């Protein structure tokens, strides 16, 4: 499991600034379920080769009256989910009574706490730090989140105890799983556990009796039509004796970890509910993590024809940002179209990890160009000469030519569509890079 870091501190100390520095990602997941706080934001952290999940607790109130209660309800949840806590204070404002309150709470938690003194840019660091030793958290970490100063050193320090754990977890995943690793994610009650059960309960599916049951997400390896797969069970169906409250069994951290561990992720959406930001963010998050995505619109049973039409047009409209993701309309409950998911899982996996020769890519490029010439620029025609693969997962295609910087967006889209259809790429973006030789 990749480690989870929580950011806590009173308002305005720079938590969101640090969160943005650590994630640099557009897709943070915000917990906004009934019964859960709206004040926690989750993102994928990547700094200097370290990978982790970061939680920003946002709004601990500065007012001393409310702080105990707010701490209890919001940050304590995040602290509980975390492996390590960064306690932020403001180096410009010095020690504050609210800091002391938070410190009291943190001292009672069993999690490792690092005291981080922010906004040390342009001020005397020693003086800024002096105030905070009295909080009793030992060594202080000075940073300037807004400028990224000290952030690398901080993360090296925080991640040090987890290096071994991360390595072990990676090896364990390889041991526990076989074939394509499939994550099934979605909001509470969309039908994830029903789908997982259905997938494992299909005829001719043989579940190996060796899941890694000691872990938070269970890996369930199985055989289907002579092919091996591993389902990553975020809903905990295997350990669940009876159905608990959705809020209890749903965890964003588990969702993010499952996405990290998967090769292909099925994002399950409930057709009986409106598509909400959460659904879209989850898809965005999967893509950000560089995983293949398959979309399953669930509970397709028992809908009238006009309801189906309406949902389909909504899906088309709202999911326009992932035109390459295949959408399946399924009923996990009745098993309708569940088997069809596998074709898409296979092509998505292949799309993510495929290797193509320079010859093949160049031939596709030449065909595309001869069907439809790039425009003239400065009375010279833009020339596209050859293409090679720059990477996979997500696939990267590098196109070499002359004046490629003047290539219009419409032509780039034409090329992308061409490569996409010839190479049969689904479920993943293709990254194009254009290199000029003049
Ligand atoms: P949060 O309420 O703890 O999430 O704090 P924010 O991240 O919103 O930051 C509060 C204010 O402090 C903003 O105006 C930031 O621009 C500023 N700030 C954050 N980090 C730094 C820093 O490293 N140096 C300075 N000078 N200002 C900072
Ligand atoms: P999870 O929280 O995402 O794991 O959702 P569950 O699998 O626990 O399902 C939530 C509820 O939706 C349960 O009452 C299921 O019986 C119901 N459900 C799941 N899939 C379907 C489906 O395809 N059709 C219908 N009508 N109900 C479904």
- Domain shared by 214 and 340, yes or no: yes
* Domain boundary, last residue among 170, 191, 213: 170
Residue owning the nearest CA to atom 2 of ligand 2: 189
- Domain shared by 390 and 321, yes or no: no
CATH code, 380:
3.30.300.20
Least confident of 3-12, 174-183, 263-272, 319-328: 174-183
Residue 51 has a pLDDT of 87
290 close to 257: Cβ distance less than 8 angstroms: no
- Give the mutation target among 16, 146, 154 for probing the ligand 1 site: most ligand atoms within 8 A of CB: 146
Cβ(193) – ligand 2 distance below 6 Å? yes
Distance from residue 333's CA to the centre of ligand 2 (Å): 7
Distance from residue 91's CA to the centre of ligand 1 (Å): 11
Residue 245 has a pLDDT of 41
Q: Which ligand sits nearest to residue 11's alpha carbon? A: 1
Examine residue 204 and say whether the peptide bond preceding it is cis (omega within 30 degrees of 0): no
CATH code, 42:
3.40.50.300
Find the helix packing angle between 358-371 and 409-423, rounded to 10°. 130
- Domain shared by 151 and 245, yes or no: no
Residue 74 has a pLDDT of 65
Number of independent structural domains in the chain: 3
* Domain boundary, last residue among 308, 333, 350: 350
Report the pLDDT averaged over residues 389-415.
93
Note the pLDDT tens digit of each residue in 48-91.
888 899 998 765 444 545 555 655 566 777 888 899 999 999 99
Note the pLDDT tens digit of each residue in 217-237.
478 889 999 999 999 877 655
- The rounded distance, in Å, linking the Cα atoms of 344 and 293 is 9
In ligand 2, the atom with minimum distance to the C-alpha of 187 is 3
Nearest Cα to Cα of residue 334 among 303, 310, 294: 303
Q: Which ligand sits nearest to residue 298's alpha carbon? A: 2
What's the whole-model pTM score? 0.81
299 close to 272: Cβ distance less than 8 angstroms: yes
Distance from residue 12's CA to the centre of ligand 1 (Å): 6
Note the pLDDT tens digit of each residue in 91-131.
999 999 889 988 988 888 889 999 999 999 999 989 989 99
In ligand 2, the atom with minimum distance to the C-alpha of 190 is 3
- Domain shared by 34 and 147, yes or no: yes
Q: Which ligand sits nearest to residue 333's alpha carbon? A: 2
* Domain boundary, last residue among 170, 195, 217: 170
In ligand 1, the atom with minimum distance to the C-alpha of 144 is 23
Distance from residue 192's CA to the centre of ligand 2 (Å): 7
Cβ(14) – ligand 1 distance below 6 Å? yes
């Amino acid at each position: 499991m990749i480690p989870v870091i929580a950011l806590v501190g009173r308002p305005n100390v720079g938590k969101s600034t640090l969160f943005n520095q650590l994630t640099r990602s557009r897709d943070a997941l915000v917990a906004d379920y009934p019964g859960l706080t709206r004040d926690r934001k989750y993102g994928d952290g990547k700094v200097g080769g370290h990978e982790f999940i970061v939680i920003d607790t946002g709004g601990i109130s500065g007012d001393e009256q409310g702080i105990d209660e707010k701490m209890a309800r919001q940050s304590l949840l995040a602290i509980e989910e975390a492996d390590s806590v960064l306690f932020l204070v403001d180096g410009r404002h010095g020690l504050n009574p609210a800091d002391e309150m938070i410190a009291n709470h943190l001292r009672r938690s069993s999690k490792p706490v690092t005291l981080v003194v922010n906004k040390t840019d342009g001020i005397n660091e020693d003086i800024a730090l002096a105030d905070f030793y009295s909080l009793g958290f030992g060594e202080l970490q000075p940073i300037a989140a807004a400028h990224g100063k000290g952030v690398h050193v901080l993360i090296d320090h925080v991640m040090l105890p987890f290096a071994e754990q991360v390595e072990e977890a990676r090896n364990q995943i390889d041991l526990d799983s076989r074939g394509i690793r499939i994550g099934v994610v979605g909001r509470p009650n969309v039908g994830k556990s029903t789908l997982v059960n259905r997938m494992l309960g299909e005829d001719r599916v043989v579940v190996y009796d060796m899941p890694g049951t000691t872990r938070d997400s269970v890996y369930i390896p199985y055989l289907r039509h002579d092919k091996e797969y591993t389902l990553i069970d975020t809903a905990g169906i295997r350990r669940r004796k009876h159905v608990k409250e959705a809020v209890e069994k749903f965890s964003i951290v588990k969702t993010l970890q499952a996405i990290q561990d998967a090769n292909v992720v099925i994002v399950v959406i409930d057709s009986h509910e409106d598509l909400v930001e959460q659904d879209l963010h989850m898809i965005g998050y999967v893509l950000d993590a560089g995983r293949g995505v398959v979309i399953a619109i669930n509970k397709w049973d028992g809908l009238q024809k006009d309801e189906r039409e309406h949902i389909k047009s909504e899906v088309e409209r709202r999911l326009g940002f992932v035109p390459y993701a295949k959408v399946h309309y399924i009923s996990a409950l009745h098993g309708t179209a569940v088997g069809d998911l596998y074709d898409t899982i296979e092509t998505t996996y292949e799309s993510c990890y495929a290797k193509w020769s320079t010859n093949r890519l160049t031939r596709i490029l030449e065909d595309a160009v001869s069907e439809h010439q790039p425009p003239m620029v400065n009375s010279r025609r833009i020339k596209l000469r050859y293409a090679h693969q720059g990477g996979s997962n997500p696939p990267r295609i590098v196109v070499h030519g002359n004046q490629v910087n003047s290539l219009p967006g419409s032509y780039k889209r034409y090329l992308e569509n061409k490569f996409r259809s010839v190479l049969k790429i689904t479920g993943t973006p293709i990254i194009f890079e254009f290199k000029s030789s003049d």
